[in-house]
């Protein structure tokens, strides 16, 4: 993976969507550099203050000056550190949200077929981890490594002046050697990070998958079995985390030993070279620099290891952004073209024939699609919508060949009420108007009354304000189905597709709704087993294993 190009690509995405990012990034980076310069000068002031303690009468004034300067410099450094913390948090929070939004938006544009292959647990873990990785990489490179490098450069210059060229060069070589060791350790930890992230993804996938079937677990009284399998899963998860931490701990421990040995060596070397023109203040300054940069080298080592992990996380997120997407096609409309027309359409999935040589047209009025369970009714609907474009034969919408790139255009003119609708957390009105930008208030009330969604003892406005949670608790299957139908009607499209719309409705309600739709919808396509509907409106197409009956 090209880490630099990935970082630059994300930088451009964030800069494009976050207007003040570049300016904020530059400003915070400048504050970090100023803080580093101030921190590097603090040992020099300590040295000068210590050198004034020689008993001379003029020394007191000098001591007060240097001690005061030290206090001012230290205070300024702390104040700037707090300011940079506030602004960096402000900038980076927006970065994280912008990247999260960019990945989610990209996934929304995937083809239906590609979306179906995604594991929700893996996607959630990848996005959550990668959305913050850009910020952490930025902190690591620009707000940690570069400031540390500046501090080291200043330290080497000061040591060169006080201790001589040999000592300064030896210190520089030691810093470079320890940094090289840290880089090696960071690169060698790549597989450790990948194992940790894989474990996190598995945990997220396990959690989401189990939470999605709590109802089935209760119905099948399988809690004991789930807890038993869960215990095995969590033991494996803990083992992976433990092994990764052990291997990482060994590496970090060895780095710590090397850095500590370096600290001892240079402090002893400074003491051994103590001479008449090497004052106590000089020794204090040298020891201060060595101690300070020993801590910085520890930070640098940890930063490099974290950078490796964050680059891997960034790569896990950018793969969603780099996924190829076919651009949607907005064709010119053909006059007098049928809504949908299929000519010799067949479709095979997983070596099983789902659709077999279908010739059919869906024109004005009511069109009934029927067939036994598993005969391919849902697949046929998905083919009409452009979700299944690996069929053979020819399928058209208003004279245009149906494929993935035409799907957005089709759905701009076609409303669909699925058999199992997804409810949104919010009010009943929010759920009815989902997908509708400018609904007519009178039309909303008309559809609300048609679907008989009023709550007992409440008026229409109060009923529309009824709060619905994400699980739809308190709603019957029929109410959910009616909400889906209302949502599709309120989009006011010329073609309406209903997937088993009467399966959860009583006979009176089903007849009332279908009759209204038949009178008010230019092209109505209904997937159903309802014999009464088939008898009243006729069957446009009957799907079966071996034969396709077309009216």
Query: Given a cut of 50, is residue 291 above it in pLDDT?
Result: yes
pLDDT at 369: 93
Phi (first) and psi of residue 385, to 5 degrees: -85, -5
C-beta of residue 512 within 8 angstroms of C-beta of residue 340: no
265 plus 314 within the same structural domain: yes
Cα–Cα distance measured from residue 402 to residue 400, given in angstroms and rounded to the nearest whole number = 6
Q: Is 145 exposed, middle or buried (0-12, 13-18, 19+ CB in 10 A)?
A: middle
Q: Give me 127's structure tokens.
A: 């996005």
75 plus 147 within the same structural domain: yes
CATH of the domain at 103: 1.20.1560.10
345 plus 314 within the same structural domain: no
Which of 76-80, 117-121, 214-218, 471-475 reaches the highest mean pLDDT?
117-121
Answer whether residue 137 is part of any domain: yes
Instruction: Please report which confidence band the pLDDT of residue 469 belongs to, taking 50, 70 and 90 as the band edges.
Output: confident
* Alpha helices (H) in 416-506, listed in sequence order: 428-432, 441-450, 460-464, 477-490
Query: Given a cut of 70, is residue 284 above it in pLDDT?
Result: yes
Instruction: Please report which confidence band the pLDDT of residue 43 belongs to, taking 50, 70 and 90 as the band edges.
Output: confident
Answer whether residue 174 is part of any domain: yes
Task: 141-144: list long-range contacts, CB under 8 Å, 24+ apart.
Answer: 141/307, 142/25, 142/29, 142/32, 143/28, 143/29, 143/32, 143/84, 143/88, 144/299, 144/300, 144/303
Q: Which domain holds residue 368?
A: 340-550
Give SS3 for 10. Answer: helix
Query: Given a cut of 90, is residue 524 above it in pLDDT?
Result: yes
Answer whether residue 231 is part of any domain: yes
295 plus 387 within the same structural domain: no
229 plus 369 within the same structural domain: no
- Return mean pLDDT, the chain: 85
What percent of the chain clears pLDDT 70, i.e. is strictly above it?
94
Query: Given a cut of 90, is residue 286 above it in pLDDT?
Result: no
Residue-wise pLDDT tens digits, 300-351: 888 888 888 888 888 888 899 988 887 777 777 666 666 899 999 999 888 8
Query: Given a cut of 80, is residue 426 above it in pLDDT?
Result: yes
305 plus 383 within the same structural domain: no
Mean pLDDT of 500-515: 88
Cα–Cα distance measured from residue 496 to residue 524, given in angstroms and rounded to the nearest whole number = 5
- Count of residues making up the chain: 551
Domain final residue pick, 275, 292, 321: 321
pLDDT at 401: 92
Answer whether residue 335 is part of any domain: no
Packing angle of the helix pair 223-272, 165-188 (nearest 10 deg) = 170
Model-level pTM greater than 0.85?
Answer: no
Query: Given a cut of 60, is residue 548 above it in pLDDT?
Result: no
273 plus 369 within the same structural domain: no
Answer whether residue 352 is part of any domain: yes
C-beta of residue 351 within 8 angstroms of C-beta of residue 135: no
Answer whether residue 82 is part of any domain: yes
355 plus 315 within the same structural domain: no
Give SS3 for 496. Answer: strand
- Counting the structural domains of the chain, the total is 2
> From the CA atom positions of the chain, what is the Rg in Å?
34
Cα–Cα distance measured from residue 164 to residue 123, given in angstroms and rounded to the nearest whole number = 56
Mean pLDDT of 433-449: 88
184 plus 235 within the same structural domain: yes
Query: Given a cut of 50, is residue 547 above it in pLDDT?
Result: no
C-beta of residue 301 within 8 angstroms of C-beta of residue 185: yes
Instruction: Please report which confidence band the pLDDT of residue 127 belongs to, taking 50, 70 and 90 as the band edges.
Output: very high
C-beta of residue 140 within 8 angstroms of C-beta of residue 306: yes
DSSP at 544: -
Cα–Cα distance measured from residue 330 to residue 307, given in angstroms and rounded to the nearest whole number = 44
Q: 167 to each of 10, 265, 289, 338, how far by Cα in Å?
A: 42, 11, 13, 87
Domain final residue pick, 258, 292, 321: 321
> How many other C-beta atoms are found inside a 10 Å radius of the C-beta of residue 457?
7
DSSP at 404: G
C-beta of residue 419 within 8 angstroms of C-beta of residue 528: no
* Strands, E assignment, 18-173: none
16 plus 158 within the same structural domain: yes
User: Residue 64 CA to chain centroid, in angstroms?
Assistant: 55
Nearest to 434 by CA among 426, 521, 442: 426
167 plus 253 within the same structural domain: yes
Sign of the torsion formed by the C-alpha atoms of 175, 178, 184 and 188: negative
Cα–Cα distance measured from residue 111 to residue 352, given in angstroms and rounded to the nearest whole number = 22
191 plus 148 within the same structural domain: yes
CATH of the domain at 389: 3.40.50.300
Instruction: Please report which confidence band the pLDDT of residue 435 belongs to, taking 50, 70 and 90 as the band edges.
Output: confident
Domain final residue pick, 292, 321, 350: 321
Answer whether residue 55 is part of any domain: yes
CA atoms within 13 A on the CB side of 228: 4
Answer whether residue 93 is part of any domain: yes
């Amino acid at each position: 993976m090209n880490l630099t190009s990935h970082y630059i690509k994300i930088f451009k995405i964030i800069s494009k969507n976050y207007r003040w990012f570049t300016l904020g990034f530059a400003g915070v980076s400048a504050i970090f550099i100023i803080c580093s310069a101030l921190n590097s000068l603090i040992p020099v002031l300590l040295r000068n203050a210590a050198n004034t303690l020689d008993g001379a009468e003029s020394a007191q004034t000098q001591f007060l000056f240097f001690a005061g300067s030290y206090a001012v410099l230290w205070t300024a450094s702390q104040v700037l550190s707090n300011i940079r913390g506030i602004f960096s948090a402000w900038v980076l929070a927006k970065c994280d949200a912008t990247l999260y939004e960019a990945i989610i938006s990209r996934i929304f544009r995937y083809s239906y077929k590609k979306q179906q292959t995604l594991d929700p647990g893996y996607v959630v873990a990848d996005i959550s981890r990668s959305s913050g990785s850009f910020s952490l990489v930025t902190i690591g490179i620009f707000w940690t490594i570069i400031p540390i490098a500046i501090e080291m450069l200043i330290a080497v210059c000061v040591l060169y002046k006080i201790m001589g060229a040999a000592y300064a060069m030896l210190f520089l070589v030691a810093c470079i050697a320890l940094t090289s060791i840290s880089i090696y350790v960071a690169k060698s930890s790549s597989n450790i990070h990948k194992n940790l992230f894989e474990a996190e993804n598995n945990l997220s996938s396990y959690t989401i998958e189990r939470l999605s079937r709590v109802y089935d677990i209760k119905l099948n009284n399988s809690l004991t079995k789930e807890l038993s399998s869960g215990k095995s899963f969590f033991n494996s998860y803990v083992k992976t985390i433990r092994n990764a931490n052990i291997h990482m701990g060994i590496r970090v421990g060895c780095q710590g030993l090397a850095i500590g040995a370096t600290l001892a060596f240079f402090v002893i070397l400074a003491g051994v070279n103590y001479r008449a023109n090497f004052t106590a203040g000089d020794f204090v300054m040298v020891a201060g620099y060595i101690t300070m940069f020993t801590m910085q080298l520890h930070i640098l080592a940890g930063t490099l290891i974290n950078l490796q992990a964050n680059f891997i996380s960034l790569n896990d997120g950018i793969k969603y952004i780099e996924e190829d997407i076919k651009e949607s096609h907005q064709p010119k409309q053909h006059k007098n073209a049928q809504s949908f027309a299929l000519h010799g359409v067949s479709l095979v999935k997983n070596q099983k024939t789902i659709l077999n040589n279908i010739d059919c047209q869906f024109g004005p009025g009511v069109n009934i699609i029927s067939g036994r369970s598993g005969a391919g009714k849902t697949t046929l609907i998905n083919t009409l919508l452009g979700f299944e474009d690996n069929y053979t034969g020819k399928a058209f919408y208003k004279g245009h060949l149906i494929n993935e790139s035409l799907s957005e255009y089709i759905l701009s003119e076609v409303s669909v009420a699925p058999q199992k609708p997804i409810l949104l957390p919010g009010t009943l009105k929010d759920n009815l108007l989902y997908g509708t930008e400018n609904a007519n208030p009178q039309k909303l009330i008309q559809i609300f009354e048609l679907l008989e969604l009023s709550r007992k003892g409440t008026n229409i406005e109060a009923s529309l304000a009824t709060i619905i949670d994400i699980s739809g608790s308190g709603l019957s299957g029929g109410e959910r189905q009616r909400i889906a139908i209302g949502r599709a009607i309120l989009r006011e499209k010329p073609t309406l597709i209903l997937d088993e719309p009467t399966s959860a409705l009583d006979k009176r309600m089903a007849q009332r709704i279908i009759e209204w739709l038949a009178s008010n919808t230019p092209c109505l396509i209904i997937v159903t087993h309802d014999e009464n509907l088939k008898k009243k409106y006729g069957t446009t197409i009957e799907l079966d294993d071996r034969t396709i009956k077309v009216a």
